[in-house]
Amino acid sequence: MSGTTLETLEQYQAALAAHPRLMLFKHSPICPTSATAHREWSAFVSGHPDVPCFIVDVIEARPLARGLAEKCGVTHQSPQALLFEQGQVSWHASHWDITADTLKQAWGTTQQSPTEGA
């Protein structure tokens, strides 16, 4: 499992509204670097079934992929992982910096909201 696929800005906004903290991965299915990052992402998702994880295919959902950069203020890259807390990006990484360990560290070391786990 790689997480829930998002295809529209409306789905992205609904995910932010539903989860105080979430991880999002932007992925190109035709890029070898993205394929490596996707394996790392999948390992993180498999090892953390309680973490709300979402994925965006940057080719199939190009308007969403580009719109995310505008909405969250982080320059678009692919592959790219973003951690959102209370609707804001608190951490992000791209390309070879996306590993299961960096994702785990980012999730574990950021500030948890008071409603997390409620």
pLDDT, one tens digit per residue, over 69-81 is: 888 888 888 999 9
Residue bearing the bigger pLDDT, 77 or 104: 104
Residue 48 pLDDT grade (very low, low, confident, very high; cuts 50, 70, 90): very high
Cis (ω within 30 of 0) for the bond into 79?
yes
* Mean pLDDT, residues 92-118: 76
Extents of the domains making up the chain: 4-105
* Mean pLDDT, residues 64-70: 88
Mean pLDDT of the chain: 89
Q: Domain 4-105 falls in which CATH fold?
A: Glutaredoxin (3.40.30)
Residue 115 pLDDT grade (very low, low, confident, very high; cuts 50, 70, 90): very low
Tens digits of residue pLDDT in 86-101:
999 999 999 999 999 9
Asked if residues 24 and 55 have their Cβ atoms less than 8 Å apart, the reply is yes
The pair of structure tokens assigned to 38 is 């996707």
Helix (H) or strand (E) holding 68: helix 62-72
Greatest CA span in the chain, whole angstroms?
39
Question: What integer pLDDT is reported at residue 2 of this predicted model?
Answer: 66
